[in-house]
């Protein structure tokens, strides 16, 4: 009786059962492949995103440091972005440092990198055409002229800096347009050295401020 039972249960699968099994296994394999691909894409994007965030925080910190050291600051525009001209001494005719911006090269100090660690992370792993493209979307510097700050000299010693970095991701086959995300870095800076020097100069009767 046991032999008959084993013979009955060890019979081969029917074609319908085999086809159903193949379909189920294919669905599971496709799901696992898609899931693994999604995890890998998220990992790659997070890696690039981390480099972008580190750059934004570091370069803004360096700009603020330079602004705190300058005795005089002038503001204009270049390449569609704000540009800062920093003078080491109040009486200097030419700026010691010019901080400008390029959409592909990032923030530049005197047309160069502030240092090697401030290289804009547009090149590297997981980035490039049809993958992830990084660029500067905007760099805006404005005087904080809100009411209640006191004299014009005091107001002109406050700067609002906004750096907008962008990452466009174009790695998904079912998306017709790249996915764009922005990373915004904002700093409000009180230029104490510039303010003190301006007050001293005005007290000496040079370029008085009403």
pLDDT, tens digit, 9 for 90 and up, residues 145-196? 665 555 666 667 789 999 999 999 876 655 567 889 999 999 998 887 776 7
Whether 92 shows a pLDDT value over 60: the answer reads: yes
Residue 209 domain-assigned (yes or no):
no
Residue 208 domain-assigned (yes or no):
no
Indicate the pLDDT class of residue 5, thresholds 50, 70 and 90.
Answer: very low
Question: In which order are the strands placed within the sheet that holds 81-87?
Answer: 72-78, 81-87, 97-102, 106-109
Total of domains in the chain = 1
**pTM listed for this prediction:** 0.75
Domain hosting 59: range is 15-203
Higher pLDDT, 92 or 7: 92
Whether 144 shows a pLDDT value over 60: the answer reads: yes
Residue 80 domain-assigned (yes or no):
yes
Average pLDDT over the chain, rounded to an integer: 80
Residue 8 domain-assigned (yes or no):
no
Residue 3 domain-assigned (yes or no):
no
Residue 89 domain-assigned (yes or no):
yes
Residue 13 pLDDT: 60
């Amino acid at each position: 009786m046991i032999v008959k039972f084993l013979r009955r249960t060890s019979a081969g699968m029917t074609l319908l059962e085999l086809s159903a099994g193949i379909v189920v296994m294919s669905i599971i394999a496709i799901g696992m492949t898609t899931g693994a691909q999604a995890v890998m894409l998220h990992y790659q994007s997070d890696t690039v995103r981390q480099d972008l965030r580190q750059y934004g925080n570091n370069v803004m910190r360096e700009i603020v440091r330079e602004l705190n050291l300058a005795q005089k600051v002038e503001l204009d525009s270049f390449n569609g972005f704000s540009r800062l001209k920093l003078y080491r001494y109040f009486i200097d005719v030419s700026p010691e440092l010019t901080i400008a911006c390029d959409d592909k090269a990032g923030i530049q100090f005197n047309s160069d990198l502030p240092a090697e660690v401030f290289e804009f992370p547009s090149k590297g792993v997981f980035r490039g055409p049809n993958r992830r493209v990084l660029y500067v979307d905007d760099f805006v510097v404005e005087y904080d002229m809100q009411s209640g700050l006191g004299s014009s000299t005091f107001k002109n010693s406050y700067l609002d800096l906004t750096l907008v970095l962008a990452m466009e991701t174009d790695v998904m086959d079912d998306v017709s347009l790249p996915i764009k995300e922005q990373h915004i870095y904002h700093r409000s800076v009180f230029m104490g050295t510039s303010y003190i020097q301006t007050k001293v100069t005005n007290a000496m009767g040079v370029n008085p401020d009403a």
